[in-house]
Amino acid sequence: MRRKQAALPVGQLLIMGFEGAEMTAGLASLLQQIQPAGVILFARNIESPRQTFTLLRACQAQVHGPLFTCIDLEGGTVDRFRKILRPTPAAAEVYATHDRRVFQRHGRLIGDCCRALGLNTDFAPVVDLAFPASLAVMNSRAVSADPRQAAAYAREFLRGLAAAKVLGAIKHFPGLGEANLDTHHELPRVEKSFAKLWQQDLAPYRLLRRTAPMVLVGHAAYPAVTGDETPASLSKKWIGDVLRKKLGYRKLVVSDDLEMGGVLKAASIGEAAVGHIRAGGDLALVCHLEERVREAYCALVAESERSPAFTRRCRESLGRIEAFKKQSRELKPERVPPSEKKVAGLVERIEAFAEAVRKAAAKVEANP
């Protein structure tokens, strides 16, 4: 009798968010069933440094392999630690110092904060270009309209994260610099030719393709490139052809949150998760509702059972994720929760860094 082939561990294609600041029976059951590649925390999950550490240890206890324990922490407006530590300067404020040592200190400080609280992956830095079209949306998250300068900041920030044993991800591929709508709510259209995108928005990805552990793909549509309104996060043209083949990127590709309005206007959560993986992505990010996490998981299971082509595509990403995890020292968890002394030291460092950034930027402005 022919043995039935074991089901693919498609939970490893998901990074999931959840509600609440402590482990519950429902969350434990979901983690045990899905066995995700990682979890992501937001401000709603974070009440104190020790509580955050304990919550992540509890998540890891439900999952067999090492977890990506993730957060969005850029500084400025995107700072999940501002209430439990101190606000960290925004990327644009740090860039205003024009000092690459300060750029790297920014990454190291954020990385040390992440590491102390049990996090090993930061979905930062932004390499979107600071064009006027996106200023109202991106604000201080983007550092420069010059792709080489955006890449220079990002390279040093990533080095700082790596020194703290934290993985980084450059975003939002292929670029939101010309997008004037917020992808959290709408699907922006970027009306730009591939030639212009290649010279401008894609340049940081070309410069950092060997450096960035992950690339996070955004939800904007680029009709001049794809000929339709498909978000980049679901586009084989962008992920499979441009990012993988033309740019030669070999590490992990992760979607932006598939619960954002920018993608849900184009697909259901299940269709979006399948679409991202089918397009060449490795990790589908579902950040909020547990029922949507389950829906995405069930859609991946059903499609892998239905389609041999999709099964092959899943196996490719599962192999890449497994190899990446085995090679990543960052995924070895901290054993001891942060002490009060450790937390106080981090607070002092954040305050000193913010003051140093302010003084350095003022000096540059006074002596252009």
**Angle value at C-alpha 91, between 194 and 177, nearest 5 degrees:** 20
Other C-beta atoms closer than 10 Å to the C-beta of 146 total: 14
What DSSP state is assigned to residue 174?
T
> Does the active-site annotation cover 201?
no
Per-residue confidence in pLDDT tens, the chain, 368 aa: 333 345 899 999 999 999 999 999 999 999 999 999 999 999 999 999 999 999 999 999 999 999 999 999 999 999 999 999 999 999 999 999 999 999 999 999 999 999 999 999 999 999 999 999 888 888 999 999 999 999 999 999 999 999 999 999 999 999 999 987 766 767 889 999 999 999 999 999 999 999 999 999 999 999 999 999 999 999 999 999 999 999 999 999 999 999 988 788 778 999 999 999 999 999 999 999 999 999 999 999 999 999 999 999 999 999 999 999 999 999 998 889 999 999 999 999 999 999 999 999 999 988 87
> Does the active-site annotation cover 256?
yes
From 79, 99, 201, 256, active-site residue: 256
Q: What is the pTM of this model?
A: 0.95
Buried b / exposed e over 227-263, threshold 16 CB at 10 Å, is eeebbbbbbbbbbbebbbeebebebbbbbbbbbbebb
Largest CA distance in the chain: 80
**What domains appear along the chain, each with residue ranges and CATH number?**
11-360 (3.20.20.300)
User: What does the pLDDT read at residue 1?
Assistant: 32
